[in-house]
Structure 1
Amino acid sequence: MTINCKGNLIDLTTPKVMGILNVTPNSFFDGGKHKSDKEILNQVENMLREGATFIDIGAYSSKPKAEFVSEKEELERILPVIQSILKQFPETILSVDTFRSEVAKVCVENGVAMINDISAGSLDENMFQIIAKYKVPYVMMHMRGTPQTMQSLTNYDNIVKEMIFYFSEKVAKATSLGITDLILDPGFGFAKTLEQNYEVLQNIELFQMLELPILVGISRKSMIYKVLNSNPNDALNGTTILNTIALMKGAKILRVHDVKEAVECVKLMQNLH
């Protein structure tokens, strides 16, 4: 199971870690933490040193009820960061977390190797065409509605069955356009209640029937700290536990704030046969 990132074939037989780099002022965990160029480059260097294969940059917070950010502002936030990282660390495999095709297009033209779309093309009908044109790996997440409305759209008859149907439709559309490097993200916390998040995690191996790599983004989310009556700052141990479960159930990419601990999860899991 490999994906092609700008000519680099990334083998996902051994799961990989994607480090999160938020350049939003309002992300739920690390919003506003990395303001200056120096702080951003230090954070990227740390994540690469700790074993991140991918760095995922986001400039639009997708937390519930996040405020709207214009396309222009999203690009103004993200482009200087991309250029700065690739100048300092040219080998870095960058992913951009966006649901806008124009943002995706400009970012890929500036050296980004992968697009991570929370809406799997639902919020911008041109996204699939851009991915097909530039032939970059595409992470398709399951969500309903928008970040502003998703928490009211949690009514499912059978959530796992409906998600598999959702993904199979998206995959069919993508492959019909010649998109080959697809990654599925169940979208923990997006249009799902606390109980539904755990139901999806419990059954995550069922998504393997689609024969595509699965990315899991659970890092420091409310499905952890609400159960533990804590907060995002105290959710690292819970993140590690759920990441381990996800790996046991076949996850191939862990999207995390804490790279070192996720890499350790992967290393230890490799010793279980």
Structure 2
Amino acid sequence: MNIVSLTDLESERQFEAHFRSLPRIVLEGRSDVGFFTAWFEHLLTELDFVAADTIADGGGCTAVATAVRQSVDGDGIPALGIVDRDWLHREQHWEELYSLDAASLSRVSPDDLVTTSLWEIEAYLLLPQLVSRWVGMQRNPPPATAAEKDAALGKVLEECEALLHAMPFFASAHVAGKHCHVKHFSDVSHHNMPQKCHEVRQPLFGEPLEIFLKVQSLVDQIRANAPADPAERLQFLLRYLDTRRLLERIGVRLGLHNNAHHALAELMSVMNCRPAELEQILNEAVRQFEDA
């Protein structure tokens, strides 16, 4: 059982959570805790948002399940883990990762874990209604013109489409054990990405080629089923795109400050926006904990 010194408790909320044994929502990292705390401040009397490495050894998606079990079995505190969809990429569950069926995520998620529908937590920042204002705030150098702000969502979607072309390559590289820097392909324009991906496919053989073709087929289905409405299309495509790579491409394309996506969190706060999917997960968790 964890014995926590009063001096180790970093805030009044943590003090209350430990001594009242608030149910825990275990997240992959401390930055995730920051997002959840800002988005769902109204639930801080019901739930304690914690990073996996504050309960168990290690961090990231692989540590969340261990931390949940430590919380429940070791600390006696109920817990639910939330992991990003990208764990399916790490574990090479290609059919589920690129599935059009939202229910496929619950079928592959371990017990006491929920897999988010979007690739990473940061993807929930990219709300379509914020994009124009975001460019207005983060254009480097300022100011952004009215035309730049009006065109921003369309350009974001073009970068989504470009990165979608590249996802089969990143899958094949992962299978081959090759690390691709977050800036990989960032120098390739959205116009040239289809040709570039065709070129990098040519030397592939064996399992990497097999996975490339498999994921390409799945991506073709995604593209064919993507909504036509720009706002809906963005939210749909964010399920299947590596968020950090996408933010890198968007930042370059729109001429934004480095790490400009953090401004989106401020915009969400000002406009009282919260990720509806995550709020639904948390509200259901509160009900389940109360009924247990």
TM-score by length of 1: 0.29
* Higher helix proportion: 2
Instruction: Give the greater-gyration-radius structure (CA).
Output: 2
